[in-house]
Amino acid sequence: MVKKIALIIGGLLLLVIGSLFAIPYFFKDQIKAKIALAINEKVDANVSFKDADLSLFKSFPNATVTLDSLVIINKAPFAGDTLVALGELNLKMSVKELFKENNEAISIQGITSKNGLINIIFNKDGLGNYDIALKDDKPATDKASDPLNLSIQEYKIENFQFRYTDQGSKIKMVINSLNHEGTGDFAASKLDLKTKSTAKVSLDMDKVNYMKNVALTLDAVLGIDLEQSKYTFKENKALINQLPLEFDGFIQMVEAGQVYDLKFKTPTSSFKNFLGLIPVAYASSLDNVKTTGDFSVVGFAKGTLTETTVPKFNIEIASNNASFQYPDLPKSVQHIVIDTKIINETGILNDTYVNLDKLSFQIDKDVFNAKANIKNVTQNALVDAMLKGTINLGNLSKAYPIKLDTPLSGILKADVETKFDMESVTKSDYAKIYNAGTMSLSGFKYTDENGKGMNISTAMVQFNPSQVNLKQFNATTGKSDIAVTGILDNFYGFIFKNQELKGNFSLTSNQLAVSDFMTTEEPAKTSTEAAKPADAMKIPAFLNCTLSAKANTVLYDNLTLKDVSGKLIVKDEKVTMENVKTSIFGGSIGLNGSVSTKGKTPVFDMNLGLNQVDIAQSFTQLDMLKKIAPIAGIINGKLNSTIKLNGNLTKDMSPDLTTLTGDLLGQLLSTTVNSSNSTLLTALTSNINFLDLSKINFNDLKAAVTFKDGKINVRPFDIKYKDIKATIGGTHGFDQTMNYNLKFDVPAKYLGSDANALIAKLTPADAAKLENIPINALMTGNFSNPKISTDLKTAVTNLTNQLVQQQKAALISKGTSKLTDLINKNKKPGDTTKTVIPTTKAEVQEQAKVEVKKQATNLLKGFLNKKKPAEEPKAAE
């Protein structure tokens, strides 16, 4: 029996559980359709969500509908702006709501959402992007057709971001990490809503930051009167960072705007309240901190917030002769006086004024005082401020638990007064700006997260109405020392209005190592994580200044530059270099050009002048020159050159050789060749045996080179070797592949013993008539594995034929002369027949036949009976 009961109960449980899984599939489409209908009937915007799921487990015994990735995009005049984006939206309802007819509204009891964004925008015309509700012409009592009915008992949002932007008043507020929940019966017209909220708030007004990630916490019971649209603070506990506040009063929505009647104050007057204002990230627990004196915040806001008015308000922050000391720190902060008021007595926002009548404190014997008054805050703020005193930076961490990676040290002294209005700052109307005083820093030491240290021995700034004068700045870092003086223009425009920072500076240095001022990689966060390469250096867009520099030694990568001088102009994310000079490689280099980081990829444009630089050093240590002309180790001597080039820069600000474009004009001076150091020259001399490269004179040789897209083009140039002329030209790549043509104009005597044996048979006069022989060579492959081809054999063959033909011509000429003499000798007296001198072998033979017939037997006998002369060399047939 028991077994049967157990089986029945088990079967029922399985049936229930199976139903819980199965029911959502039957009702999912119905719920999804009603949600889509409810949204589309209510809003004038582009609404979408990926999917809708129904679950009976998330909030059992209730059902939960989940919408994934709900997004609401505005239409004109905010077309394309995101109003709402929710990662997840959950709607809780009774299971019975699933069985309602299509024309019956579904009642929603609870709403939760995660990872959301609410983006409220007011444009310059005062229109808000949140007003997307469609106009409802139906009577208020007719709710039968509403797909959804909100009977909310609880709601909750997690990890939300709320953005508020008013383009007209230039106000921007961002609430991050917003978590909020509330419980109460919204079906009732009057209810008490229990809420819990946490968030981080940032606030900017007219590009000035007033709050940045200020932590807020509020646990409150809100009395809500839905009929009167009135919200009353009943029980509440608020924290601003760690500062506790209590609220009393109400906020009510009326037709004209919102009515405020609020009072707030610190629940106690302990000075710990002040320490609670400091963000937790820069503070620590307030437990066991010893304090004396008081600190209080008291204020109210009363009135109506409309388009033209704000509630009147008064906030007073006060402390008198207070002190504090943390239990584990050796020093205390004493004689603290704070007297600050933020007041609006008219309800007009521009009439708000801030009076920091006194701020004073003392650490050891160092006293620091400040005061400031700000009026006319929204239209043309008037500022009157003063700083005076001394702060030993090393004592800050001994008196307050500042979380620093490395301790600070140094003495900061200030004695500065200023009076100005923001309009004069914007217009640089210095006649209306009063600045006076000095600020100095000495003995300052700082080490960054990469371990690089900066020591400022002395820095002094003098404030004048139109300028900030950097009277002295002496510092060392790494291997570098620098001394800077100069003028900063528009300092207040830069500080308050995000305008350009203008200046003119002079820098001197005994030694400056460029690596001391650059970060090559980001440090690893953990022992197992590798360091990441840093992004390419960016030239700040706000800088507009000139720097005249002189340095005895500059260390850049593997180079040592001496006597460096020149001018740097920084503007529009670009550095322009004028008349930069340095001694290096036994000579000097002059430079004019620019580097720009404005685009996605940094670029450069340079004109270089090299004067008497050592070839071996420069073409070995400068990778760019090595790739343009790989002659390092081959040619010794000096070089004069002008180089124009431009291209992209890599992340470490070195030239990207594949993008180089430009040209080079060079002249070699006092040069010698080490052919044994070059695989290329060794291969060349082995293929052209009449060359002795060690005897080639490259002095005053001038060459022109152009380069683009990784290819270098050498325009043909001439060199002389003994009485041989050579013309060289071609191309090679940065990958060291090459294609060069060499044209030699070679006297015949250099073409071997066979050629010289034939030349020896010529008369001196005929030998002098020999033309030079053209020889061509082609160099391909690459510099380390060259391929050499020549037409030397063809040239020797052509020379041999030339010499043979010249010998034939000489023999024919000689035979013709002897035959003419013979004919003239055998002429009878009175014979006036003209003697025709033959010019070819055929003519000689024909003339001989004619003469033989004319002279008959006697001439023939006389010719044949003559003594046989010495045998002449036979002409080659």
Report pLDDT for 872: 37
Report pLDDT for 284: 62
CA–CA–CA angle 644, 649, 653 (5° rounding): 110
In tens, the pLDDT along 468-490 reads 899 999 999 888 999 999 998 87
Report pLDDT for 25: 47
Sign of CA dihedral 530, 532, 533, 537: negative
Residue 650's identity, in one-letter code, is T
Rg (CA), the chain: 48
DSSP 669-693: EEEEE-GGG-HHHHHHHHHSTT--G
The CA distances from residue 678 to 78, 624, 782, in Å, are 70, 19, 12
Residue 712: which H helix or E strand, with range? strand 711-721
Q: What are the structure tokens assigned to 236, written together? A: 């509440």
Around Cβ 773, how many Cβ atoms within 10 Å? 20
Query: Which parts of the chain have pLDDT scores under 70?
Result: 1-38, 40-41, 56-61, 95-106, 135-151, 206-208, 279-285, 449-450, 518-537, 632-633, 675-677, 693-694, 752, 754-755, 758, 767, 769, 804, 806-877
Around Cβ 217, how many Cβ atoms within 10 Å? 16
**Separation between Cα atoms, residue 39 and residue 52, nearest integer Å:** 14
Sign of CA dihedral 127, 132, 138, 141: negative
Report pLDDT for 764: 75
Alpha carbon distance, N-terminus to C-terminus of the chain: 136
DSSP state of 136: -
Strands 574-584 and 333-344: unpaired
Q: What are the structure tokens assigned to 43, written together? A: 């809003």
Report pLDDT for 232: 92
Report pLDDT for 106: 67
Report pLDDT for 846: 55
State the number of CA atoms in the 13 A half-sphere of 161 facing the CB. 12
Q: What are the structure tokens assigned to 420, written together? A: 């100005």
The CA distances from residue 174 to 25, 241, 377, 552, in Å, are 41, 16, 21, 51
Name the residue among 232, 206, 338 with its Cα closest to residue 277.
338
Domains of the chain, by residue range, sit at: 241-403, 801-865
